[in-house]
Structure 1
Amino acid sequence: MSIGKKIILGIVGLILAITLVVVGLGAKVYFDVRGSADQTYESVKRKNPAKREQAVDLEEQDSFSVLLLGIDTGDLGRTEQGRSDTMMVATVNPKDKKTTIVSIARDTYVPIVGHGTDDKINHAYAFGGAAMSMDTVESYLDIPIDHYVAINMKGLKELVDAVGGVEVSNSGEFTQSGYTFKHGLNTLDGDRALAFSRMRKEDPRGDYGRQERQRAIVVGVVKKLLSMDGITKYQEVLEAMESNVTTDMHFADMKKIALNYRDAFTNVKTEQMQGEGFMQDNISYQRVSEDELKRVQDILKGELDL
């Protein structure tokens, strides 16, 4: 796969830097952050608007959702459109001071909205970019998808290095890409983080084990970004994201989130949507049961106050 480029880190990285501005660290920081935010902005033209009668009001601290996409390009010479090999939905609830991240297996078999086919959910990005991914996930989970953040493989590596590495817990020793990861706590730099998040063939849980490791990296980056050490490295964080992250959030939106939502990022809960493997036309897919889908939908709807 390509890595847990997953990343609420994209949001949190910019938000933390913006918070520096909010608390008064000067004009240089402000223009650094605004310039980086402008470079990451990329609008989406969706065929199906978000499932909301009224848009999210960040001033009123409405809960909102973000589709987090890890794209398998940007490293190892890959420059094509790519697929979203990592897909997570994050809900941010400032009233409960909680962020919930749900992982969706990349092989999950779903209707691809706007393409007229049923396929692996990660193919939506290859067919129609962030817009089709947002429409497809929104339809599947029956919740509004308000924004997206996409980060490529190179971005994950540079972001982990920018915050000075992350610490993760590993459930079983394994070797991947020339690196050995011991049982227990491991400190990862960018290259090790990529290798840690790639392994699945030796894991008896397969792709679900990999997704768990990806979430661990996300949480590790968030913790670093929220620490004083992360804040002092804001320039490195911005440089890592400028050419590797895209989002449909404007600088003004990020600034409001920095003011009104920061506490929600200090309490991150994770969920895994579980499926069962099946073969069709010699291709492996994951099918999620109706009960499991409803379980996840209910969690997300609760966090969004729907």
Structure 2
Amino acid sequence: MKKKRNTSSLLKNGEPISILLMGTDTGALGRNFKGRTDTLILLTLNPNKNHMTLVSLPRDAKVAITNYESYYPSKLNSAYDYGGSATAVKTVQKYLNVPIDFYATINMGGLENMVNAVNGVDIKPTLSFSYGGYSFTKNKTVHMSGAEALAYVRMRHDDPQGDYGRQLRQRQVLTKIATNGSSLKNLLSEKFFKEISKQLKTDLSFNDIMLLALKYRTATHHMTSDHAQGDAQLINGVSFEAVPEDEKQRITDLLRSSLNIPKADTGNTLLNSDSTN
């Protein structure tokens, strides 16, 4: 896949970069690595500002998928199902007009292994609930193992905020993994990289990850956590999330600013609301 920017130069010079994180609800509970991406988070790392930005995108966002426009309207999480990681990257780039430098697609089993590799994470639950054999109490900090963290981020239907509530919990866990400095070295070993590669698809090489560890560690010192808020829309009996243009523009502004690139209009996967581009 041809990249929008010279990623080798960006990494070498420690310039701000973006990574599209995609999570498939597979690889745990005996499932295989296929299906749709239930998690889409655009992450930027800016070592110059010691800042990390995580923005969740609605899995049901109404889009036209790049190279599959005839299926419009489609849900954003179907881009991976249609054409893999590259199609998802191209669609998100077009949707927001933000360059994506790298991607990492991980299944739920991989997330569980990552939490275990940093010796667990301390999380203050956003609400009280039970799921997958575990119970969580709102605002009561608990040290979670990989299995507990997996249960914590998978629950959706009992959350009053639905998928937006789950997105918040996902960002919580990912942030804790990234900022767990004392145990992060466990994630940065070639042994672990090879072990988890069965549950991870990424265009970051092991050497790229070493450069990230060397030049981008300070970017985890401060963090902005956000999401694109959509409005429910029913089309032919199918529920979508339609993100208003001003909300998309706000997210585009936030991400482009975090990458130190000039402001620009947000993107669109369509020529207009009724015809595919």
Q: Is the 8 A contact 1:162 1:240 kept in 2?
A: no
Taking a change above 3 Å as real, the CA distance of residues 258 and 215 of structure 1, as seen in their structure-2 partners, is same
Equivalent in the alignment of 1:14 = none
Structure 1, 141-150 or 231-240: larger mean CA deviation = 231-240
> Which has the higher mean CA deviation after the structures are superposed, 247-256 or 269-278?
247-256
Native 8 Å contact 1:63 1:91 kept in 2:
yes
Equivalents in 1 of 2:224, 2:120: separation in Å?
Answer: 21
For 1:240 and 1:161, locate their aligned partners in 2 and report how far apart those are by CA, in whole Å: 13
Q: What's the CA shift for 1:272?
A: 1.1
SS at match of 1:67: strand
Query: Among residues 23, 33, 46, which one is paired with 1:70 in the alignment?
Result: 23
1:76 & 1:286 partners in 2: Cα distance?
A: 28
Aligned 1:166-205 pairs, distance under 5 A? 166-184=121-139, 185-205=141-161
TM-score by length of 2: 0.86
Residue 162 (structure 2) aligns with:
206
Shift of 1:133: 0.4
Q: Work out which of the residue numbers 72, 81, 94 in structure 2 matches 1:139.
A: 94
TM-score (norm 1): 0.78
**For 2:27, what is the secondary structure of its paired residue?**
coil
Distance of 2:187 and 2:62 partners within structure 1: 40
The residue number in structure 2 matching 1:83 is: 36
Amino acid at match of 2:178: V
Contact 2:33/2:199 (<8 A) preserved: no
> Is the contact between residue 150 and residue 245 of structure 1 (CA under 8 Å) also seen in structure 2?
yes
CA–CA separation in structure 1 for the residues paired with 2:94 and 2:114 = 31
1:51/1:143 contact within 8 Å kept: no
Write the distance in 1 (CA, Å) between the matches of 2:239 and 2:136.
28
The count of corresponding residues between Structure 1 and Structure 2 is 256
- CA shift for structure 1 position 267: 2.3
Rounded to whole Å, the distance in 2 between the matches of 1:240 and 1:88 is: 23
Identity of aligned residues (%): 37
* Structure 1 residue 171, shift from structure 2 partner: 2.6
CA distance in 2, matches of 1:124, 1:266: 32
Aligned with 1:257: secondary structure? helix
1:221 aligns with 2:174: no
- Show CA shifts across 1:154-176 (max 9, x none): 11112212222111111321111
Cα contact 1:67–1:149 (8 A) shared by 2: yes
Unaligned runs of 5+ in 2: 262-277
Displacement, 1:120?
0.5
- Mark the CA change 1:289 to 1:87 in structure 2 (over 3 Å): closer, same or farther: same
Q: Which runs of 5+ in 1 are unaligned?
A: 1-44
Q: Which moved more, 1:133-142 or 1:266-275?
A: 266-275
